[in-house]
Amino acid sequence: MAKTERIGKVLLDYSRYSGMDLYSDGEIEDEILNIVKNNDRKDYPAIIEEKGSWPVLYHLSEMRSNIIEWIPMKGNEKVLEVGAGCGAITGKLSEKSASVTCIDLSKKRSTINATRNKDCDNITIHVGNFRDIEPDLPADFDYIFLIGVFEYGQGYIGGDHPYETFLQLLRKHLKRGGRIVIAIENRTGLKYFAGCREDHLGTYFSGIEGYGADSVARTFTRNGLINIFKSCGIRDYHFYYPYPDYKLMTMLHSDYYLPDLGELFDNVHNFDNNRMKLFNEKYAFDSLVKDGMYPDFANSFEVILGPEFPTVFCKYSNDRADEFKIRTSISLDRMGKKLIEKHALCPEAAEHIGSIQDAYLALKDRYQGGGLEINDCKIDPATGNAVFSFVNGEPLSALMDRCLERDDMDGFDKLFKEYLKRISYNEEASVSDYDLIFPNILVNGTVWTVIDYEWTYGKKIPPREIAFRALYCYIEEDEKRKKLDPRRYYNLLGLTDADVEGLLQEEAGFQKYVTGGRKSLVEIWTAIGRKVSVPQELQRRGEEHKQEPDKIQLYYDLGEGYSEEESEYLDAIYNEQGIADIELELESDVRKIRLDPTMHPCIVAVKRVLWNDVSMMENDSLMQIHPNGAWLSDESIVFDSDDPQIEFDLSGEALKKRAMNRMHIRILMTPIPQKLGRDLVSYQYAEPEEDRGDGFGKLKQLLKSRNRKN
């Protein structure tokens, strides 16, 4: 084998390659190599959507490079990347620095890396084991990157103290003032307690339990890493906290800027494996944030060994069309003052960044003398970034949440009406902020400040439409908020069912406009087919995987009737009051659906049915409900069998359908003895309105009363 090879402009060095790839994901790497050989980088998003494959997403998503994109580099740095793999990080490092030296065990992966980055003339890839290559490395690197690599120190280095040895070897190759950057999972990240599998072993709780002696990789707690650093004599270290984790990071916090309550809500999706859901991670994170414990339970760490950076927070919006891809950052100046910047992630987004200052001036003029302050904005001529002042205050959404927690609906209504009043000021003006959602307003006493007005348009948008969208986004973001009945607020805004339907279509169109028609990560996760199970709702009854009776099963009828193949067990579960909220997304070709609420006799009250946020309860010409039990009232059904079923007929011509439809169903389920169920069914059909003197009439009235209260 030749000692070197060029693929495009990238140099591969095989002088330390053993001739065998010791680390491989198998055939999927051949598929990825074929993709990068035959497709341009701009085609990757469509391929990711088409394939519905975790390895394809993991290796080709541009979000992978978020973990290093934020690092402020001048462009003249010399960089070492250990464990470069298929090059998800390498290309971005090439853009940001003068030269990139990569090391990787695998020739196949290095070939993928070189092929996808073949136009970069500043990349050299050394194929082989780090221990063999390390002695020949120079000692003047500005940065050394270990992204998802440090945990493999035992395999790279060996010995009794492999991780300390690894760091000491790396430090020899840093110039004075250089930095080592480590991205790694937190061994006690909250997601592992909540039911995600350990990333490297695919097993439950193995990291939390401290791993076994033969574990191929080891991650660490925050204190565990600090102890390693200190044993190496490293005192200059700085922790950042990637969220949801470092692989597909969307936010990055630091010890100088920790998360706010309610900020960490995207927790369920664990792409590389099926998972359990032992509790609601959002609420657990909120509890940890409140007590100042987030750093110990963040899912991942990014640690800077060396001088710290001014950046203390960043948020990525690169799941959008190119012209809207941006990063929002918070940094500290020399006096410790916080500054906010919005930065274009690609040249196409520069115009969008530039338009934000125009939005500021227009909104400031509209709301002058009204109840909304607009946070100031200017464009930095040197960087092209939009720069904002840091505003103190509490998000309006957090104040509303507090009202819901206390069941203070009067307080919630007061805040909503105050919001509507303030956004309605000078409503005839030809400028509107379409994204005036509750989190974008900070409240500090009587001062309400709009901190994000990226989606401002030079036209009049009725305040009730903006308020509808704010309420819609608010409810969708958190399960606890679904206790709100949106119809109450639609009535307050004067919105008819037809208005609501039209506004939902506008929202779908807006999302398509922002994303360029791309699928969201949630949709990609669905396509990958990972499952979330809720063990509390599972019970072994003599069979290995028999479902507990209170698991809710859904059947789809696409025109050929129901079948087990076209069914699934839902994530929705019954709470302590026996209530379950079911959220569905249904394509237009679904003719009927059937809910099997449990596997024993019961009484079910259908409390709410919303189709694209329009109530179906008052008009059975839009959607008919057919149970295999007997109706006790307008909403309650009694079932006397072990197979209760409730069918929702979606085939009516009057039902307005979109390509993708949202359906919300709230049910209250009460188990009953089979004999009581049979007696109630018999009584209901025989004498539905009379008390036969045996107590059934009174029981029926009691059930009706209970249903009304719930």
pLDDT at 703: 42
Contact of 463 with 484, CB cutoff 8 Å = no
**pLDDT band at 193, cuts 50/70/90?**
very high
Paired with 615 in beta bridges are: 610
User: For the chain, what is the mean pLDDT?
Assistant: 89
Span 392-442, pLDDT tens digits: 999 999 999 999 999 999 999 999 999 999 999 999 999 999 999 999 999
Predicted local confidence at residue 708, as pLDDT:
37
Q: Residue 673, preceding bond cis, omega within 30 degrees?
A: no
Residue range 265-279, pLDDT digits in tens: 888 777 778 888 888
Kindly give, in sequence order, each residue whose CB lies less than 8 Å from that of residue 544, ignoring residues fewer than 6 positions away. none
Q: Over the stretch 467-507, which tens digit does the pLDDT of each residue have?
A: 999 999 999 888 788 888 888 999 999 999 899 999 999 99
Residue 131 is inside which H or E element, if any?
Answer: helix 130-133
What pTM does this model have? 0.77
> Considering only CA atoms, which of 129, 135, 182 is closest in space to residue 156?
129
Q: Whole-angstrom Cα distance, residue 571 to residue 532?
A: 7
At 550 the pLDDT is: 72
Cα torsion angle, 552, 558, 562, 567, sign: negative
Per-residue confidence (pLDDT) for residue 685, from 0 to 100 = 57
For 82, which DSSP code?
E
Q: Between the CA of residue 489 and those of 68, 156, 407, 493, 662, what are the distances in Å?
A: 44, 60, 17, 6, 19
- Please check the confidence at residue 158 and state whether its pLDDT lies above 60: yes
Give the residue-averaged pLDDT of 557-567: 85
**Gyration radius of the chain over CA positions:** 29
69: closest CA among 178, 183, 160, 156?
183
Residue carrying structure tokens 């203070």: 408
Q: What is the pLDDT of residue 694?
A: 40
Task: Report the range of poorest mean pLDDT among 67-71, 340-344, 384-388, 545-549.
Answer: 545-549
Query: What is d(CA 510, CA 514) in angstroms, rounded to the nearest whole number?
Result: 6
Give the pLDDT confidence of 648-659 residue by residue, as tens digits.
999 888 888 888
- What are the tens digits of pLDDT across the range 99-141? 999 999 999 999 999 999 999 999 999 999 999 999 999 999 9
- CATH for 395-515 is 1.10.510
Q: Which helix (H) or strand (E) holds 532?
A: strand 532-533
Single-letter code of the amino acid located at 685:
Y
Distance of CA 708 to the CA centre of its chain: 36
Q: How confident is the model at residue 529 (pLDDT cuts 50, 70, 90)?
A: confident
Comparison of pLDDT for 622 and 472, the residue scoring more = 472
Does CATH number 3.40.50.620 belong to domain 4-310?
no
pLDDT at 1: 63
* 683 confidence band (pLDDT: 50, 70, 90): low
Element (H, E) at 341: strand 338-344
Span 607-631, mean pLDDT? 85
Q: Do residues 303 and 182 touch, judged by C-beta distance below 8 A?
A: yes
- Do residues 346 and 362 make contact, with C-beta atoms less than 8 angstroms apart? no
Domain extents in the chain? 4-310, 330-389, 395-515, 534-709
DSSP conformation class of 322: G
Are the CB atoms for 260 and 292 separated by under 8 Å?
no
Task: Report how far residue 126's alpha carbon sits from residue 146's, in angstroms, rounded to the nearest whole number.
Answer: 15
Q: Which residues contact 26 (CB under 8 A, 6 or more apart)?
A: none
β-strands 373-374, 447-450 pairing: parallel
Residue 693 pLDDT > 50: no
pLDDT in tens, 196-208: 999 988 889 999 9
- Dihedral pair phi/psi, residue 268, rounded to 5°: -75, -35
The residue with greater pLDDT, 693 or 615, is 615
Query: Tell me, what's the pLDDT at 567?
Result: 86
Q: How many residues does the chain have?
A: 710
